[in-house]
Structure 1
Amino acid sequence: MAQVHKTQAKLALHLGAMAREARARAGLTQEEAAERIGVATEVYGRLERGNMLPSLPTLMRLCRALAVDANPLLGFSSSTPPAWLSLEIPGEDEPPAVRRLLRTVRKLKPRQLAALSNVASALLPSPGARVPRKTKHAS
């Protein structure tokens, strides 16, 4: 099975659980729900188990068949963000100096970026090279 992005996996689990609840409220079996949506029973089962995300047209048919709004299925029914939506800010755990450098690097032209990449590579120690220890010097 292909690796799924963790946000997509969380969304798939949430959507599956909500679809299962809506199907149960509608008094349908998985087979009946799948027939109304126009998918194979096995596909619908995978959707409820959180093993897949439906396409947008399938999601729309799912909402119609189960008489449910898409917002609860996607977790957008409250004022707080849904549990599947992790609002991770890229680089928030990096030091401020690294974030400033990245902002500057993003402004570089391709040629400048290539030159900076070469300089950065030259600054790194070669594999297997010993890193000199700092020694105390007498003043």
Structure 2
Amino acid sequence: MDDIDSLKRSIGAALLMARERAGLTQADVSSMSGLASAMYGRIERGQMLPSVPTLHRLCMALRISASALLGLSSPRDLAAAAPEPPMSPQLARLARLLRMLSPGELRCLGALALDIRRRKNLVPAPSD
């Protein structure tokens, strides 16, 4: 039983470190991985062991290897697990909202974002 409890705590600590490194809240990670916030909180606190599919989703959401999350690699590997800069919480929320839009709504939003960027940077509009 101690081995299981130790594994729960180890995974929870690794999740906490990865989440903080990414600048995300528990709600952000739970939403990105499709978990209920309460369930993610229990896993991160070391009170619950995630299933293999849940572990995979958490690795994908936090951009961390399963070996780092399971404690099979050194803690330094956990700190350096993200090859690209972490997504800000605001960008993560926007990405979740974008996934709910239709293709037409995405095109419209893309055109709006491009127009905002052009106005801000005074980038000339393409000639049609």
Bin the TM-score by the shorter chain.
0.5 to 0.7
Runs of at least 5 residues in structure 2 that lack an aligned partner in the other structure: 75-128
Matched, 1:74 2:70: yes
CA distance in 1 between counterparts of 2:43 and 2:28 reads 14
Matched, 1:61 2:57: yes
Match of 1:42 among 38, 42, 45: 38
Q: 1:26: which partner in 2?
A: 22
CA distance in 2 between counterparts of 1:71 and 1:61 reads 14
Give the % identical residues. Answer: 50
Shift of 1:41: 0.5
Q: 1:125: which partner in 2?
A: none
Q: 1:107: which partner in 2?
A: none
CA distance in 2 between counterparts of 1:69 and 1:33 reads 15
TM-score, structure 1 normalization: 0.52
Aligned residues: CA RMSD: 0.7
Q: Residue type of the partner of 2:65? A: D
Larger radius of gyration: 1
Aligned pair count reads 74
TM-score, structure 2 normalization: 0.57
Structure 1 outlier segments of 4+, above 4 Å:
none
CA distance in 2 between counterparts of 1:37 and 1:53 reads 15
